[in-house]
Amino acid sequence: MNIKKITGKIKKITDLSKTAKEISIVLSEPLEFIPGSFVNVFFDINGEKVRRAYSISSSSNDHESITLSIRLSPTGTVTPIFWGRDMVGENIELMGPLGLNTVNKMNQDKIYLFAFGIGIGVVKSIADYFTNIKKVDSLTIISGSRSEEEILYNEYFKQLSDNHKNVSFSNVVSRGTPESNIRVGYIQDFIGDYDFNDSDIYVCGQEKACNDLVAKVDSLGHTNCNFFIEGFH
């Protein structure tokens, strides 16, 4: 894929939860990307150019526009801007596609996609690929969120598993409520029954969470299993 520096116009911003937004960007020229890719986004902040990486959360079938799914870091430099003013109509500079953990390297017929927090954004793009572009025998998706209110893209994934027999989707929350029937804990607390032999495992989210999950998979034992770890930092 050609890495390009292009301009994008923010077309729409959708609240996914109190702390997550989906940014829809129309591109100045078509961008081909492989699901799992990210772009670098450049912002002018107080006369300084600041760069941040964001994974593409939209389908790779659309080359004219992309979405980025962004979580607020309240004390961060860039993300509070999206909560502070309406950025619809503004132009931003992008560079991409970038990244090594892309679906063209996932060749097994058994795929696991584990997403912590906002990592579910790129998993949405990858799941689109494995349901609309390349079929696999089984696609298991688990989303780990802080609380029920912070579960993102739930309807999208529920529909995906309703419409595809080979797709399973479930949520785990680290802080649950007694009324809810959603499993409480971390993703790695609920993977003991999976068969990880001959599988590709994609893990995305905060680096520590990703590493803890991979350690749990390793402790369960597996052969011919490939990890694709996209740790946000």
Ligand X SMILES: Cc1cc2nc3c(=O)[nH]c(=O)nc-3n(C[C@H](O)[C@H](O)[C@H](O)COP(=O)(O)OP(=O)(O)OC[C@H]3O[C@@H](n4cnc5c(N)ncnc54)[C@H](O)[C@@H]3O)c2cc1C
Binding footprint of ligand X on the chain (CB under 6 A): 38, 52-55, 69-71, 73, 75-79, 118, 121-122, 230, 232-233
Could you tell me where the beta strands, DSSP code E, fall in 18-146? 20-27, 38-45, 48-55, 65-71, 91-98, 110-116, 138-145
Judge whether 123 and 152 are in contact, CB under 8 Å.
Answer: no
**Cα gap 143→150, rounded to integer Å:** 11
Instruction: Report the nearest approach of ligand X to the CB of residue 45 (Å).
Output: 9
Closest CA to 68 of 132, 114, 25, 115: 25
For 23, half-sphere exposure in the C-beta direction (CA atoms, 13 angstrom radius) is 27
Instruction: Report the nearest approach of ligand X to the CB of residue 82 (Å).
Output: 9
End-to-end Cα distance, the chain: 24
Instruction: Report the nearest approach of ligand X to the CB of residue 100 (Å).
Output: 9
Nearer to ligand X, 13 or 136 (CB): 13
Q: Which phi and psi angles does 30 have, rounded to 5°?
A: -60, 145
Instruction: Report the nearest approach of ligand X to the CB of residue 9 (Å).
Output: 19
Judge whether 206 and 84 are in contact, CB under 8 Å.
Answer: no
Amino acid at site 133: I
Nearer to ligand X, 110 or 124 (CB): 124
Instruction: Report the nearest approach of ligand X to the CB of residue 121 (Å).
Output: 5
**Cα gap 160→151, rounded to integer Å:** 16
Q: Which phi and psi angles does 11 have, rounded to 5°?
A: -95, -35
Nearer to ligand X, 51 or 175 (CB): 51
Nearer to ligand X, 56 or 191 (CB): 56
Instruction: Report the nearest approach of ligand X to the CB of residue 205 (Å).
Output: 9
Nearer to ligand X, 71 or 110 (CB): 71
**Cα gap 151→145, rounded to integer Å:** 6
Nearer to ligand X, 38 or 130 (CB): 38
